[in-house]
């Protein structure tokens, strides 16, 4: 029984201790909660917010913070505070902020976010800013890039970095298989056949949980063949001969066993591990692939754009951008900040912080960027043939891109069904058309 009363004693002690903890944490809660008070609101007196995404590594965050902290506004204009927004659920973060008027004055974000917010009347167009950049920064943007930001009402945003899709190959494995880098779809089939003979996959990609890259690649092939998702009325128009031919080509790659049978469900981490494991010898991904494959990185080379069966070239890229919001402490202040930022952001690239390709020629031509042969191939050979989601109908972007194809569920389902290889091209395209049509707004 002694043990039992011991138990009772410790129970009592425990409750006492718990009570003490409770009291002290509550006291702490009051003081902490007061101290950290809400920093929301459209910006206090003389301070505005800049929200940026984790475009690169820790080094990116440090450098970006440094640049923003060094901004000295002219008198009467607001200073800027820096805030990094995480990718997890970022659309919710932005939409809830905009809807509750706690949005920043300036932010980056998803590539089509600005167009959606513009359609909802929340964006301050950048036309005045570009006018003030005339003969200066404005001419520094890569050719055609500004057009991607143009809407009927003005420039919805300012191009910031390029997220591209291109082909990659492992030169050692290619050599081993006796394959040469292809330049046309038919040559690509031959390359894949040679790689397959050695047990390598030639059509490496993934479309698993959280990975939209696979759907980008399939769209890229449609654009490659002169097709794409939207017509010139900016409506989805998928069931076209060009698209059908492109998807038939993908299905041919799948049926011949050139793609990994699991690729429909590969996350980007899985894709990277297949490159690392030397299973993928040729594949399609973003420009940042080598940074994620460790020891295989030195072997990876960007391929050349392929000529399709119809003799066309083309692929998909995403001009990420920075947008200004109507709800700002000072529109002049937002513009002054961005002028400063664009004139001083070069180190984000020269210090190799992991951000996508630069939007400005002056940065693209620095040895740190163009010295990398893969970057050079992308900038010289791929950049001229890139299209946005709006292809073939438009060179720009618009709100319905965000609603129908950018990160939507039907695109994933479509891609998984094609990579599964058990559907017909025309049927799959028709299904996709039927699924995204109702998602259109206005």
Partner 1 sequence: MSTETANIRLAGVAGRRRRLGELGERGKWWRFLAIVFITAVVIVPVVAVFILSLTPAFGSTETGLTFANYGHIFTATNLSYWLENSLFVALVTVVVAVAVAAPAGYVLSRGRNKLISGYALILFVIQSLPVVTAVIPLFFLFVKLNLNDNLAGVMIIYIGSTMSVAIWMMAAYFDSIPITLEEAAWIDGASVFGSFTRVVLRNSLPGILSTAIFSFLLAWNDYLIAVVFLKSDVNYTLPIGLQTFFQQNATDWGNVMAVAVIMMLPPIIVFAALNRYFSVGGIGGSLAGR
Partner 2 sequence: MSTESVTRSLQRARNGVGVGGGGAPVRQRRNKALNHGTTFFFFALPSLFLLLLLNLYPVIYAGFQSVHNGDLIDPGDFIGLHNYLTVLQTADFWRAARFTVIFTIVGVFGSWAIGLGIALLLRTKIPANPVFKVLLLLPWVVPTVVSATAWNWLVATPQAPLPVIAKAIGFGDVSFLGDPLAAQVLVCIFKVWISFPFMMMMLSSALAAVDTNVYEASRVDGAGTWQTFTRITLPMISRTTYVSWILMTIFCVNDFPTIYLLTGGGPVNATQSLVVMAYQTVFANQQVGPGVAIAFIMTIVLVIVSVVLYRQIRKASIE
In the complex, which residues of this chain contact partner 2 (CB under 8 A)?
89, 91-92, 95-96, 98-99, 120, 122, 207-210, 260-262, 264-267, 269-270, 273-274, 277, 279, 402-403, 407-410, 412-413, 416-417, 420, 438-439, 441
Question: 390: part of which helix (H) or strand (E)?
Answer: none
Considering only 16, 32, 380, 422, the residue that binds partner 1 (CB under 8 A) is 32
Do the beta carbons of residue 276 and residue 160 sit within 8 Å?
no
- Residue 29 touching partner 1 (CB under 8 A): yes
Considering only 121, 135, 295, 311, the residue that binds partner 1 (CB under 8 A) is 295
- Residue 440 touching partner 1 (CB under 8 A): no
Q: What sign results for the dihedral spanned by CA atoms 280, 285, 287, 289?
A: negative
Q: Which of 112, 111, 155, 110 is nearest to 133 (CA)?
A: 155
Out of partner 2, partner 1, none, what residue 75 binds, judged by CB under 5 to 8 A for its kind, is none
Distance CA 82, CA 75 (A): 20
Distance CA 364, CA 141 (A): 10
Out of partner 2, partner 1, none, what residue 261 binds, judged by CB under 5 to 8 A for its kind, is partner 2
Strand duo 386-387 + 315-325: pairing = parallel
Q: Which is nearer to partner 2, 45 or 88 (CB)?
A: 88
Structure tokens at 284: 């399609």
Q: Which is nearer to partner 1, 24 or 373 (CB)?
A: 24
Q: Which of residues 221-240 bind partner 1 (CB under 8 A)?
A: none
Do the beta carbons of residue 274 and residue 260 sit within 8 Å?
yes
- Residue 7 touching partner 1 (CB under 8 A): yes
Q: What is the Cβ-side half-sphere exposure of residue 128, based on CA atoms within 13 angstroms? A: 10
- Residue 31 touching partner 1 (CB under 8 A): no
Q: What sign results for the dihedral spanned by CA atoms 135, 118, 323, 110?
A: negative
- Residue 25 touching partner 1 (CB under 8 A): yes
Out of partner 2, partner 1, none, what residue 410 binds, judged by CB under 5 to 8 A for its kind, is partner 2
User: Judged by CB under 8 A, which stretch of 24-32, 123-131, 191-199, 396-404 contacts partner 1?
Assistant: 24-32
Helices assigned H by DSSP within 231-381? 241-255, 268-276, 331-344, 347-350, 361-364, 367-370, 373-377
Phi/psi-derived region of residue 412, left when phi > 0, alpha when psi is between -120 and 50, beta in every other case = alpha
- Residue 58 touching partner 1 (CB under 8 A): yes
Q: Which is nearer to partner 1, 58 or 136 (CB)?
A: 58
Residues 6+ apart with CB under 8 A from 218: 246, 247, 250, 414, 415, 418
- Residue 269 touching partner 1 (CB under 8 A): yes
Provide the minimum distance between the beta carbon of 403 and partner 2 in the complex, in angstroms, as a whole number. 5
Provide the minimum distance between the beta carbon of 343 and partner 2 in the complex, in angstroms, as a whole number. 33
Angle between helices 241-255 and 185-197 (to 10 degrees): 10
Tell me the C-alpha to C-alpha distance, in Å, between residue 440 and each of 105, 148, 437: 28, 20, 6
- Residue 39 touching partner 1 (CB under 8 A): yes
Considering only 67, 193, 239, 291, the residue that binds partner 1 (CB under 8 A) is 291
- Residue 354 touching partner 1 (CB under 8 A): yes
Out of partner 2, partner 1, none, what residue 274 binds, judged by CB under 5 to 8 A for its kind, is partner 2
Provide the minimum distance between the beta carbon of 325 and partner 1 in the complex, in angstroms, as a whole number. 15
Provide the minimum distance between the beta carbon of 99 and partner 2 in the complex, in angstroms, as a whole number. 5
Out of partner 2, partner 1, none, what residue 93 binds, judged by CB under 5 to 8 A for its kind, is partner 1
Taking the CB of residue 67, how many other CB atoms lie within 10 A of it? 17
Considering only 76, 89, 153, 209, the residue that binds partner 1 (CB under 8 A) is 89
Do the beta carbons of residue 144 and residue 395 sit within 8 Å?
yes
Structure tokens at 75: 């008198």
Distance CA 251, CA 170 (A): 23
Q: What sign results for the dihedral spanned by CA atoms 414, 304, 291, 200?
A: positive
Considering only 46, 69, 76, 96, the residue that binds partner 1 (CB under 8 A) is 96
Report the interface residues with partner 1, using CB under 8 A.
1, 4-5, 7-8, 10-12, 14-15, 18, 21-22, 25-26, 28-29, 32-33, 36-40, 53-58, 60-61, 83-89, 92-93, 95-96, 99-102, 163, 268-269, 286-288, 291-295, 297, 354-356
């Amino acid at each position: 029984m002694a043990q039992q009363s011991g138990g009772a004693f410790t129970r009592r002690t425990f409750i006492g201790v718990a009570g003490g903890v409770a009291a002290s944490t509550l006291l702490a809660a009051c003081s902490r909660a007061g101290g950290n008070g809400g920093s929301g609101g459209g910006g206090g007196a003389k301070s505005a917010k800049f929200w940026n995404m984790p475009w690169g590594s820790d080094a990116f965050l440090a450098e970006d913070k440094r640049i923003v902290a060094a901004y000295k506004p002219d008198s009467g204009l607001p200073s800027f505070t820096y805030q990094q927004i995480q990718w997890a659920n970022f659309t919710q973060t932005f939409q809830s902020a905009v809807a509750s008027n706690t949005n920043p004055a300036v932010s980056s974000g998803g590539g089509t976010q600005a167009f959606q917010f513009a359609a909802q009347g929340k964006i301050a167009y950048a036309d005045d800013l570009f006018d003030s950049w005339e003969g200066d920064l404005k001419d520094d943007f890569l050719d055609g890039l500004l057009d991607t930001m143009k809407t009927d009402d003005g420039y919805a945003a300012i191009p910031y970095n390029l997220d591209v899709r291109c082909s990659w190959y492992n030169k050692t494995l290619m050599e081993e298989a006796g394959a040469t880098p292809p330049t046309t779809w038919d040559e690509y089939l031959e390359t894949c056949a040679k790689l397959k003979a050695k047990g390598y996959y030639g059509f490496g990609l993934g479309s698993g949980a959280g990975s939209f890259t696979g759907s980008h690649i399939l769209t890229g092939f449609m654009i490659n063949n002169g097709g794409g998702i939207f017509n010139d009325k900016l409506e989805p128009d998928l069931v076209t001969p060009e698209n059908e031919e492109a998807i038939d080509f993908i299905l041919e790659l799948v049926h011949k066993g050139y793609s990994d049978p699991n690729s429909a469900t590969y996350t980007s981490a899985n894709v990277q591990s297949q490159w690392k494991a030397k299973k993928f010898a040729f594949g399609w991904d973003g420009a940042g692939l080598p940074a994620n494959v460790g020891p295989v990185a030195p072997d990876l080379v960007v391929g050349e754009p392929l000529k399709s069966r119809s003799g066309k070239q083309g692929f998909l890229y995403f001009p990420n951008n920075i947008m200004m919001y109507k709800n700002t402490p000072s529109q002049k202040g937002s513009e002054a900040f961005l002028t400063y930022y664009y004139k001083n952001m070069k180190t984000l690239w020269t210090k190799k912080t992991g951000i996508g390709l630069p939007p400005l020629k002056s940065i693209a031509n620095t040895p740190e960027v163009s010295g990398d042969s893969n970057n050079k191939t992308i900038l010289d050979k791929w950049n001229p043939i890139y299209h946005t989601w709006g292809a073939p109908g438009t060179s720009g972007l618009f709100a319905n891109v965000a609603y129908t194809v950018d990160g939507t569920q039907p695109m994933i389902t479509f891609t998984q069904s094609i990579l599964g290889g058990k559907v017909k091209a025309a049927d799959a395209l028709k299904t996709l058309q039927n699924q995204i049509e109702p998602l259109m707004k206005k």
